[in-house]
Structure 1
Amino acid sequence: MAELPPDPARLRAILAFLEERVAENETVGIYLRLQRDAVREALARAEGLEPTGPRARRGRSTLPAPASSGRTTGAPGFTVERRKRAMGPEPARIHTDDCTTGGTQHPVGAEEACAALVDPMVEACPFCRPDAALGMDLD
C-alpha cells in the first residue's frame, strides 16, 4: 500500500471510502452465496442426489417456488433484488414474492430473507413490507 497521508481529515476520508467498499462487497457476497447454494441444490436434485447444502442441513431440501407458481400453502415467499447505480451498488432490497415493484428479483427462502434483512446493506421493500410478513420489527 502507498504511504498514507499524515493528517486526520484525509485518513478519515480514506477510511470511510474503504468501509463503504467492504460493506458493498459483503452484500454481494451474501447474494452470491445464496445463488451458489440454490444452484448446488438444483444440481443435486437434477442428478437424483440428496441436497447437502446449508438448507438441507436445516431440514429444508427444496427451493422456494417462484412467484408465478400459484402457491397454495398461503405462506409468502420472498425475493431479493440487486439494484445498481453509477457509483457502486445500492442496498439490495427484499420483497415478498407477489410484489410487483422493483427490477429483476431472485427467489429466496424465509430464513435467507430474515438473515439478509439484518444486514445494513439490505433493505425491506417499503410497499410489500417483507419484514412485517416475517414478523420482524426493523423500525
Structure 2
Amino acid sequence: MSEQVPRLERLRSVRQWLAWQLRRTDETIAELEKQEAAAARAARTLPPRVPEWRLSMQRAGGRPTPDAVHTSDCGMAGNATRPLTREQALRAITEDGITACPYCRPDTDLGVL
C-alpha cells in the first residue's frame, strides 16, 4: 500500500503539469487566432496601394511606346498608362531617356533635376 501513495502523488503531479501545458497551449492558440483575425481585418480595410508614378504610352505605328513619366495624380497622363515603382520611374527618366511630364514634374519628387 505504501508504494501506491507515491505513485498516486506522481500521477497527480503529472496531471497538474499536463493541465498547465494544456492551458498554456490554449492561450497560445487564442493569441494566434487573435493575430490572424486582426491581419485579416487589416487586409480587408486597407485600401489598395496606389502607385506613385505612372508611365504614359503613346501609339506610334500601332504599337504603344513609352511617352512620359507622371505622378499618379497627373491629369496629363491620359488613359493609356501603366504603374511604376520608384526604382522603375528613376530608371525610366535617368537611364532610358523617357521624359518627365513638364506639368506634374515627377523628376522633382524623385530627386532628379
TM-score calculated relative to the size of structure 2: 0.48
More helix by proportion, 1 or 2? 2
Greater strand proportion:
2
Structure number with larger C-alpha Rg: 2
